[in-house]
Structure 1
Amino acid sequence: METTGTDGTAEVARWWATAITHMAPGVIELRGRPVQDLIGCVGLTEMVWLMLRGHLPEPPQAKLLEAALVAGVDHGPHAPSIAAARMAATCGVGLNNAIATGVNLLGDSHGGAGQQCVELLHDVRAAQAGGADLDTAVATVIAAWRERSPYLPGFGHRFHPVDPRRDPLLGLVDGAVADGVVEGHFVTAARAVEAALVRPGRRPVPMNIDGATAVIYAELGFAAPLARGLFVLSRSIGILAHAWEETQTGRRNKGPIPPTVLPEYRPTSAG
């Protein structure tokens, strides 16, 4: 392997080559932009876009992304990530550890539905590109996804008959489509999936927060795995707030149930 000089420093430099950050004595550039030109001029949502995409968004794009990030900030202590972070905060660890505890629970079943819904919507679009009409594409994709799981990511909610975050987000998407900010293919696909889930005599299965934000991320051109990463960024704010609140109570070693309640003991027969 080619190196410069005899100490191999060029090889090491190439090992961590990046297009994201240029750092040298007195220099910090992010995606080619001096940090001093960004401070006070660029909002956090715009920075997220810049770091992930390599360029700054147009203001309407930033507005749509920010709406999705705001919507996913918190859902209360019954969410495993929040509860775990609050418990961790009482165990003598720092806030960074408490946040990491909560974030590490954001897996496929809790926190991953946005990514999965983006994948589902791309499957619908791929089926359309293959010649299927929208209804046929939706039916085919739903059937394929239900072979893996009875749950369709991005639709239905165990607490809310209609997720209160759904309509504001979809309204913003509709406005962005009307203004030519996004094309609208993915919101059309998502609404077609929602309509296909309507069954006579059965409870509706409307789009939830994961579905609505998946629409936004897909319309804005973010890759499916980034939908989970963006949700993690958003939910980290709520996790931090809950962890900090818990530290203010002075409680130590908080468990998942009050100490006055003992878990049921279920003995099993030997052998």
Structure 2
Amino acid sequence: MSLENTEEHAIRHWWRTSIIDMKPGQIEFRGHPIQDLIGNVGFAQMIWLMTRGDLPSKAEADLFECALVAGVDHGPQAPSIAAARMAATCGVGLNNVMATGVNMLGDVHGGAGEQCAELYLDIAERMDAGVNLNDATRDGIAHWRETYGKIVSGFGHRFHKPVDPRAPRLMAMVREAASTGTVDGMFADIGEAVQAEIGRQRGIEIAMNIDGATAVIFCELGFPPPLSRGLFCLSRSVGVLSHGWEQMQQGGRNKGPMPPRFLPLYEDKT
């Protein structure tokens, strides 16, 4: 009987993977023995290896790490961080605290990077079809708004006005990487064109935010949009962990979203 017709074959193919080859005394990730990776590969490189299947160059890894560093935290006013801190006062363990915070990262809070990357790729496809950058940008934004609404993910910020301090630095790092040939720079051009076009339509300049800038980096490095969201969630989990742990050290019991002396406004609908 061939292996293909055995129960062993069926069982082993149930969870088939090209990520890890593990057996007693052996652990290999994408063909790299773990003992060779430890001490020789940084965490950002390891994330790349696990998600992409190969190891990045040092310059690619450095740019990738910039995006991961930029998104780690945005303070207790961010829903993911606030939820983690509240959970930390409810008697659950640190793993539950982290799960609570990460589970707050949805389409609106956490998903903007993925959505922005989709817009960038749409514009890039229009350019590949022969449309110039400005027209492709205008048409891409119009299509976005027809599909998702007025707000274009990755631009403007409810808190940081007029500038998100993270975005200019990230874009400068992209331009530096483009100057050395690490990346092409096309998505940096697209991101800046989107920023300019939204400002033109509004009649006032608008800032690129963290999501717009990290989406540029992830697109330049070849990550698909869903991974843009996943990588942001991975980055933000560092802040979730940090704030959750800090709150556990500070103590507190059953802390809600506002101090007890402030009560929600009751609206009588009768």
Higher helix share: 2
Task: State the 4+ residue runs in structure 1 displaced beyond 6 angstroms.
Answer: none
CA displacement, residues 124-164 of structure 1 (integer Å, 9 cap, x when unaligned): 01111122111110110111111221110111111111100
Task: Name 1:20's counterpart in structure 2.
Answer: 19
When the two chains are superposed, the root-mean-square deviation of aligned CA atoms in Å is: 1.6
Task: Name 2:100's counterpart in structure 1.
Answer: 101
Q: Which amino acid aligns with 1:80?
A: P
Task: Name 2:237's counterpart in structure 1.
Answer: 236
Q: Which amino acid aligns with 2:45?
A: E
Task: Name 1:54's counterpart in structure 2.
Answer: 53
Which structure 2 residue ranges, 5 or more long, are not aligned?
A: none
Once the two structures are TM-superposed, the CA of residue 262 in structure 1 deviates from its matched residue by 1.8
CA displacement, residues 167-194 of structure 1 (integer Å, 9 cap, x when unaligned): 1101110011100000111111111111
Task: Name 1:157's counterpart in structure 2.
Answer: 157
Instruction: Give matches, 1:70-81, under 5 Å.
Output: 70-81=69-80
Q: Is the 8 A contact 1:72 1:235 kept in 2?
A: yes
TM-score by length of 2: 0.96
Instruction: Give matches, 1:1-12, under 5 Å.
Output: 4=3, 8-12=7-11
Which structure 1 residue ranges, 5 or more long, are not aligned?
A: none
Cα separation, partners in 2 of 1:92 and 1:132, compared to 1, 3 Å: same
Task: Name 2:90's counterpart in structure 1.
Answer: 91
* Partner secondary structure for residue 21 of structure 2: strand
Instruction: Give matches, 1:119-268, under 5 Å.
Output: 119-147=118-146, 148-160=148-160, 161-199=162-200, 202-268=203-269
Cα separation, partners in 2 of 1:84 and 1:134, compared to 1, 3 Å: same
Cα separation, partners in 2 of 1:239 and 1:7, compared to 1, 3 Å: same
In structure 1, C-alpha distance between the alignment counterparts of 2:198 and 2:16, rounded to whole Å = 47
TM-score by length of 1: 0.95
Q: Which amino acid aligns with 1:219?
A: E
Q: Which amino acid aligns with 1:203?
A: I
In structure 1, C-alpha distance between the alignment counterparts of 2:26 and 2:216, rounded to whole Å = 38
In structure 1, C-alpha distance between the alignment counterparts of 2:2 and 2:47, rounded to whole Å = 34
Once the two structures are TM-superposed, the CA of residue 210 in structure 1 deviates from its matched residue by 0.3
In structure 2, C-alpha distance between the alignment counterparts of 1:200 and 1:231, rounded to whole Å = 29
In structure 2, C-alpha distance between the alignment counterparts of 1:82 and 1:40, rounded to whole Å = 32
Percent identity, aligned pairs only, is: 56
Once the two structures are TM-superposed, the CA of residue 6 in structure 1 deviates from its matched residue by 8.6
Task: Name 1:39's counterpart in structure 2.
Answer: 38
In structure 2, C-alpha distance between the alignment counterparts of 1:259 and 1:200, rounded to whole Å = 44
* Partner secondary structure for residue 248 of structure 1: helix
In structure 2, C-alpha distance between the alignment counterparts of 1:37 and 1:237, rounded to whole Å = 26
Q: Which amino acid aligns with 1:109?
A: V
Cα separation, partners in 2 of 1:5 and 1:187, compared to 1, 3 Å: closer
CA displacement, residues 187-237 of structure 1 (integer Å, 9 cap, x when unaligned): 111111111122388431121100000000000000110000100110000
Cα separation, partners in 2 of 1:120 and 1:200, compared to 1, 3 Å: closer
Q: Is the 8 A contact 1:3 1:10 kept in 2?
A: no
* Partner secondary structure for residue 200 of structure 2: coil
In structure 2, C-alpha distance between the alignment counterparts of 1:144 and 1:233, rounded to whole Å = 30
